[in-house]
Amino acid sequence: MIYGNIFDIKEMAVHDGPGIRTTVFLKGCPLRCVWCHNPEGLSSKPQLMYKENKCLHCDLCKQKCEHEECKPFGRCLHICPENCLTVTGREIDDKTLTRELIKSADIMGNSFGGFTFSGGEPLMQSEFLIKMLDNLKNYNLCIETCGYTDGEIFKSVIDKLQFVIMDIKIADSKLHKEYTGVSNEKILKNFEILKNSGKPYTIRTPLIPNITDTEDNLIKIKEIIGNSNWEQLPYNAAAGAKYKMLGMKYELKDRI
């Protein structure tokens, strides 16, 4: 049995690979894109989310409680009259998650397209991911990845998939490091592995104003990916609220 950390399961997903799918979001990402719209997927650990705008400042949650699940956060998660406190992220073993997922596939019957593993970055929990892909090998399987991992791991994962969605965000390595925290050499090497794998795939580029959507960046990405299927995704401006709930800084706010 292998344990992983997930922060969401989305059923009836229609943009995460072929057909109608169930998407599992794994916690943890090696990148820190300044525009990330899933900040709850960045840390690999469970995190407290706090709705400050609804808080009555009654301090009930700060009183001592005996719930095991509350101890890591120093707050009682169950007493809030306004439901201001939730935890994002839970540990789950591969067998339990497989059972949960197959149930969702059975309900969908013939309409079910398959399973997608997203994040965060699903390759960051590669051992758990590979186990899950083996458990679900009779289904259509896909990942949404930033492609930042060692080539051997990347290859062993895509060998088990029927479809791959991979981001290429910034072509210039220095700018990539500035805006995501890492250079893009590993990512571009893994793109070559993907291109030569014979697996169907889509490349995605989020269009972030003045960062990824510049003419220069888009021309250079096109030069890298050639005639690959390419989706350019509009910028999602709604992520700011989640950063606030997590007590994290939304870096993009200061840059555009």
Which of 33-41, 90-98, 191-199, 207-215 is the region at the interface with ligand SF4 (rule: CB under 6 A)?
A: 33-41
Site for ligand SF4 contains 203 (CB under 6 A): no
Identify the residue whose tokens are 């993907």. 194
Binding residues with ligand SF4: total (CB under 6 A): 24
Binding ligand SF4 (rule: CB under 6 A), the pick from 89, 113, 119, 122 is 119
Residues 69-98 that bind ligand SF4 (CB under 6 A): 79-80, 82, 84-85
Site for ligand SF4 contains 136 (CB under 6 A): no
Could you give the C-alpha distances from 80 to 62, 68, 188, 244, in angstroms and in order?
10, 17, 47, 19
For the bound state, the minimum distance from the C-beta of residue 17 to ligand SF4, rounded and expressed in Å, comes to 16
For the bound state, the minimum distance from the C-beta of residue 139 to ligand SF4, rounded and expressed in Å, comes to 24
For the bound state, the minimum distance from the C-beta of residue 42 to ligand SF4, rounded and expressed in Å, comes to 6
Helices 151-158 & 185-195, crossing angle to 10 degrees?
30
Site for ligand SF4 contains 33 (CB under 6 A): yes
Which of 10-18, 105-113, 118-126, 189-197 is the region at the interface with ligand SF4 (rule: CB under 6 A)?
A: 118-126
Point out which residues pair with 206 in neighbouring strands: 233
Supply angle C-alpha 126, 127, 131, rounded to 5: 110
Strands (DSSP E) contained in the chain are 3-13, 20-26, 47-50, 85-88, 90-93, 112-119, 141-145, 163-167, 201-207, 230-234
For the bound state, the minimum distance from the C-beta of residue 18 to ligand SF4, rounded and expressed in Å, comes to 21
Binding ligand SF4 (rule: CB under 6 A), the pick from 56, 107, 241, 256 is 56
Between CA 4 and CA 135 the distance in angstroms is 14
Amino acid at 24: V
For the bound state, the minimum distance from the C-beta of residue 107 to ligand SF4, rounded and expressed in Å, comes to 28
